[in-house]
Amino acid sequence: MGEHIEVAGRSAPFGSDVLLEASDFDGLVIHTEICEDVWVPIPPSTRAALAGATVLLNLSASDAIVGKSDYRATLCASHSARCLAAYLYSAAGQGESTTDLAWDGEALVFENGALLAKAARFADEPQLILADVDIGRLTAERMRQGTFGDCADHEAGATTFRRVAFELDAPRDKNLGLLRNVARFPFAPDDEARLAELCFEAFNIQAHGLRQRLEATKTQKLVIGVSGGLDSTHALLVAVTAFEQLGLPRENILGFTLPAFATSDRTKANAWRLMRALGVGAQEIDVTPACKQMLADIGHPAARGVAVYDTTYENVQAGARTSLLFRLANQNDAIVLGTGDLSELALGWCTYGVGDQMSHYNVNASVPKTLIQHLIRWCARDAHFGADTVAVLHDILDTEISPELVPSAAGEPAQRTEDFVGPYALQDFNLYYTTRYGFPPSKTAFLAFHAWADADAGVWPADIPPAKRRAYDLEDIKRWLVVFLRRFFAASQFKRSALPNGPKVSSGGSLSPRGDWRAPSDASAQAWLVDIDEIP
């Protein structure tokens, strides 16, 4: 502690109490430790991280023995995760004495538990590995994890660090590219095995959440609106699983398809096919008469046959359906199961109050649209709910996403949801980086460009058909990011403030006002929109 060494006639601070802090790069603080420092219960870099170090280096003389590489990697991975830091490990290699030992030259770069780069072991030539470390992500994680700050406060003063400033002198007006892979679907891994494991976990989290609610309320029935679309399909599959776990008959799940002015034959048929294949209670109630009556009561032009298809016209239908489901729940001593997903909540794509925003419990509340698609594919792939469900699940996946609220003479939906709110693939990407890390729009767009600019680059989840693997240029990315920011910050928070209960599912978080997202309903998007100008 407090030592100096002489280098080229100059005195330099030396020791594990030194932090190298970049004066021209926010958040870049470097700490160095040696070899088995990372083996001890409290490595020196732990307190360095609590003091602000984001990049931890280990210069090691660790020898190679059988099985040691995996152990080292586990240590470094877990240490980087606990410290919410990057951990760079470099072991001695060829050229060391082999009197009694051998050396493998292993080098590793981890970021918050994830391996970014790894050198070849036992190489004949010197190895150089490169990786992009996202300092902004690390500092955002530290702000998000309150216990990290609590620990830093508790350990404050345990070690006095000497801070040495340096200039990184990195060019700021040049795009240096990006070495790291940016996943197109941050809510779902690219690797098939990991995706299957995630689907298993997500599905069971949802089912167990619903099971607990049913047990706590001593309720043995539920009511659900089944539209033949993605969200209600997935919620129904979750409900079937929860009822099986509780030993309740599937007939106690009261499914209702509720056609109105613009319901297509395809979605209504799929709703019936799914309910019959699953063996749940199934009924159809046409809400068209109720909607016509309300339109007439309020003097809406559509009641006189005028083709005025405004928000009122649409919400009359959403309200009629929700009101009916709640009264059916009263009549059957049941609860209403919500079906709306996280993406719709983020974009405000739901009808507030007496509409699809409201239910007694919503299993999809923290599941984004892109993950729901993966979950349904997972259920279909292994025929989790019997062979009769596979074909209808695939047909539902292939159906255009539409609210089906505006009539169409052509027989096809007059509305494509993604024409209004943007491609869900992009908007889920924007949602993840906005809520999980608080990244400014310019950085989110930069990452989106590297993820989506080339459809042939990178890895796609195996269950996405080639025909649906598309690219987005920077113009598309910027345009839909503006839509996301306006809808997310300026138009939707009041709906989320009255969000029904539902289980948190992924590390991407939820928008529950009681959990991950506590925000004012009258927030302004202006600061975020100003940053849009930084995007070319």
Residues 131/102, Cβ–Cβ less than 8 Å: no
Question: Do 192-534 and 3-166 have the same topology in CATH?
Answer: no
Q: pLDDT tens-digit profile of 328-362?
A: 999 999 999 999 999 999 999 999 999 999 999 99
Q: Would you say residue 495 has pLDDT above 80? A: yes
**Homologous superfamily of 192-534 in CATH?**
HUPs (3.40.50.620)
Strand-pair partners of 117: 109
Domain-by-domain residue ranges, the chain?
3-166, 192-534
Determine the Cα–Cα distance for residues 516 and 364; give it in Å rounded to an integer: 16
The four Cα atoms 451, 454, 456, 460 give a dihedral, to 10 degrees, of 20
Determine the CATH number of domain 3-166: 3.60.110.10
Determine the Cα–Cα distance for residues 105 and 63; give it in Å rounded to an integer: 9
Lowest mean per-residue pLDDT among 3-12, 79-88, 317-326, 470-479: 3-12
Q: pLDDT tens-digit profile of 468-481?
A: 899 999 999 999 99
Task: Tell me 500's DSSP state.
Answer: P
Nearest alpha carbon to residue 442 among 358, 530, 376 = 530
Determine the Cα–Cα distance for residues 295 and 261; give it in Å rounded to an integer: 12
Give percent of the chain with pLDDT exceeding 70.
99
- 521: Cα separation from own chain's centroid: 22
pTM score? 0.93
Determine the Cα–Cα distance for residues 304 and 348; give it in Å rounded to an integer: 30
Determine the Cα–Cα distance for residues 248 and 275; give it in Å rounded to an integer: 16
Q: pLDDT tens-digit profile of 134-172?
A: 999 999 999 999 999 999 999 888 888 999 999 988 777
